């Protein structure tokens, strides 16, 4: 089969799985009105599927900072951090992230995806081991492949399985990088960090925590799961993204190990790509301040999340293991998930549709993401629609 025929076969299989489901993926957003509303298909739609957890996307401070950076430094850096793309803003943001986490070192990457790729492939290589959670994000998995290390998965959040695999590694556990996430992107649950730290210490391994979805969301100042659990000193490397709570694009790794800096000279996803634009760096710097001081935003976010989670559960929906800004509704089949997605869109509510193989264990999900800018009235409207649709779902 030729390369193009293989693509045709994959496209046909996709269509057969869900004949009218393809519209749900990559739907065009025609205009964005605010952190909670956009125009889709000519209609004003409530956005319940963005990663804009603190609702900061239209904040005047961030917009002004971005405008000013464009005016002063231009639209793009046109080069790598290793060459002509290392502006004072990139270095200032690294310093600010290091201060925020009270860590010695920080590297800023061009995306969150590249932060994982660059950190993992810089830390481990052939002969080393990566031990990753079964629900790990694709950027973690791809980073592991790029590194050439041996990849072992443990069952999602299953500490007995993690311990079994560490034990089996024998002396190799000392050359093992364990990788987990603060909040998992599909079901919205958190890693049992205290137990993971105990195991990593007992087996002399190294721990990387991806706080992509937990930054801004957990902890008094929004550091993430490390702050909520008080375990920041126990985690070797923290990665995260600017594209969720910080409403920009880019990523970072912070660490107390000064050796992190060496990654700048070996990590291809850091070296062989252009640095983030001045505008995104400037807006991220402004957003980081708002995030750190954003206790009220976090309170609103959690109020909204708990309200939606509890309401959906009460209606009879099968939801993820714990409340949080990602509320995943698990459906019996892709067809049922699509019917629910269509029903919500019919009521001008946008959520994410996640079908196998993207979701763990072959699940089909309708995934809601809550933010601090949603009003209680908006969440109530969502609940009413979910409630009406419950009875109509074919089982
Ligand atoms: N890590 C996790 C857990 C993610 O969910 C994502 C994005 N969905 C990333 C990393 C990558 O971040 P970005 O989209 O900013 O590249």
Could you give the number of structural domains in the chain? Answer: 2
Q: 142 and 89, same structural domain?
A: yes
Q: 302 and 287, same structural domain?
A: no
Give the model's pLDDT for residue 365: 96
Within a domain: 373: yes
Within a domain: 11: no
Within a domain: 238: yes
List the residue whose alpha carbon is closest to atom 13 of ligand 1: 112
Q: 299 and 282, same structural domain?
A: no
Band (pLDDT 50/70/90 cuts) for residue 293 is very high
CA of 245 to the centre of ligand 1 (A): 12
d(CA 340, CA 391): 11
Calculate what percentage of the chain has a pLDDT beyond 90: 92
* Residue 130: C-alpha distances to residues 121, 172, 183, 271 (Å): 10, 11, 19, 23
d(CA 99, CA 364): 40
Give the model's pLDDT for residue 99: 98
Buried b (16+ CB within 10 A) or exposed e, 235-262: bbbbbbbbbbbbbbbbbbbbbbeeebee
Q: 285 and 304, same structural domain?
A: no
Q: 201 and 144, same structural domain?
A: yes
d(CA 45, CA 50): 12
69: domain CATH number is: 3.40.640.10
CA of 212 to the centre of ligand 1 (A): 6
Domain stops at, among 250, 265, 292: 292
318: domain CATH number is: 3.90.1150.10
Within a domain: 100: yes
CA of 250 to the centre of ligand 1 (A): 10
d(CA 57, CA 37): 12
Q: 321 and 238, same structural domain?
A: no
Within a domain: 5: no
Within a domain: 82: yes
First-to-final CA distance of the chain: 39
Q: 349 and 233, same structural domain?
A: no
Other CB atoms within 10 Å distance of the CB of residue 336: 16
Q: 268 and 238, same structural domain?
A: yes
Report, as an integer, the average pLDDT of 229-244: 98
Ligand 1 neighbourhood includes 185 CB (under 6 angstroms): yes
d(CA 219, CA 275): 29
pLDDT tens per residue, range 61-118 = 999 999 999 999 999 999 999 999 999 999 999 999 999 999 999 999 999 999 999 9
Give the model's pLDDT for residue 21: 65
Give the model's pLDDT for residue 358: 83
Given CA atoms 332, 336, 340, 345 in this order, what sign does their dihedral have? Answer: positive
Q: What's the pTM value of the predicted model, to 2 decimals?
A: 0.96
Q: 64 and 211, same structural domain?
A: yes
Within a domain: 8: no
Domain containing 324 equals 19-54+295-392
Ligand 1 neighbourhood includes 111 CB (under 6 angstroms): yes
d(CA 31, CA 52): 16
Pocket test for ligand 1, best of 134, 182, 241, 360 (most atoms within 8 A of CB): 241
Q: What is the side-by-side order of every strand in the sheet holding 364-369?
A: 318-319, 326-331, 364-369, 352-354
Q: Is the peptide bond before 23 cis (omega within 30 degrees of 0)?
A: no
d(CA 196, CA 240): 19
CA of 116 to the centre of ligand 1 (A): 9
Give the model's pLDDT for residue 361: 83
Q: 176 and 280, same structural domain?
A: yes
Domain stops at, among 224, 258, 292: 292
Q: 196 and 214, same structural domain?
A: yes
Ligand 1 neighbourhood includes 139 CB (under 6 angstroms): yes
Within a domain: 2: no
Domain stops at, among 257, 292, 327: 292
Question: Contact at 8 Å (CB) between 328 and 186?
Answer: yes
Of the candidates 105, 299, 97, the residue with the CA atom closest to the CA atom of residue 211: 97
Ligand 1 neighbourhood includes 206 CB (under 6 angstroms): no
Ligand 1 neighbourhood includes 116 CB (under 6 angstroms): yes
pLDDT tens per residue, range 40-74 = 999 999 999 999 999 999 999 999 999 999 999 99
Ligand 1 neighbourhood includes 137 CB (under 6 angstroms): yes
Q: 215 and 79, same structural domain?
A: yes
């Amino acid at each position: 089969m030729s390369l193009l025929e293989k693509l045709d076969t994959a496209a046909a299989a996709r269509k057969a799985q869900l004949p009218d489901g393809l519209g749900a993926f990559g739907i065009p957003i025609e205009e964005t009105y605010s952190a909670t509303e956009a125009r889709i298909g000519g209609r004003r739609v409530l956005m319940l599927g963005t990663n804009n957890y603190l609702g900061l996307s239209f904040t005047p401070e961030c917009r002004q900072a971005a405008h000013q950076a464009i005016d002063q430094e231009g639209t793009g850096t046109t080069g790598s951090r290793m060459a002509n793309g290392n502006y004072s803003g990139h270095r200032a943001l690294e310093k600010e992230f290091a201060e925020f986490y009270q860590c010695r070192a920080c590297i800023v990457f061009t995306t969150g995806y590249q932060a994982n790729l660059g950190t993992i492939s810089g830390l481990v290589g052939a002969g080393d081991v990566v031990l990753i959670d079964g629900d790990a994000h694709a950027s973690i998995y791809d980073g592991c492949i790029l590194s050439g290390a041996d990849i072992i998965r443990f069952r999602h959040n299953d500490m007995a399985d993690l311990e079994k695999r560490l034990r089996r590694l024998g002396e190799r556990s000392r050359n093992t990088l364990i990788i987990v996430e603060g909040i998992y992107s599909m079901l919205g649950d958190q890693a049992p960090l205290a137990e993971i730290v105990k195991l990593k210490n007992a087996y002399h391994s190294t721990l990387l925590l991806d706080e992509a979805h937990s930054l801004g969301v957990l902890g008094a100042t929004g550091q993430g799961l490390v702050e909520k659990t008080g375990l920041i000193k126990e985690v070797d490397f923290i990665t995260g993204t600017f594209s969720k709570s910080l409403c920009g694009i880019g990523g970072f790794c912070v660490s107390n190990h000064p050796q992190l800096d060496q990654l700048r000279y070996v990590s291809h996803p850091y070296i062989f790509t252009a640095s983030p634009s001045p505008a995104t760096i400037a807006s991220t710097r402004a957003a980081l301040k708002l995030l750190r001081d954003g206790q009220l935003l976090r309170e609103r976010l959690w109020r909204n999340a708990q309200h939606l989670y509890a309401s959906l559960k009460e209606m009879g929906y099968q939801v993820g293991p714990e409340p949080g800004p990602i509320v995943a509704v698990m459906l019996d089949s892709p067809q049922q998930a699509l019917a629910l997605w269509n029903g919500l869109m019919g009521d001008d509510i946008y959520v994410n549709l996640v079908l196998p193989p993207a979701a763990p264990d072959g699940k089909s999900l309708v995934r809601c993401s809550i933010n601090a800018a949603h009003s209680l009235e908006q969440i109530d409207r969502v609940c009413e629609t979910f409630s009406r649709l419950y009875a109509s779902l074919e089982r």
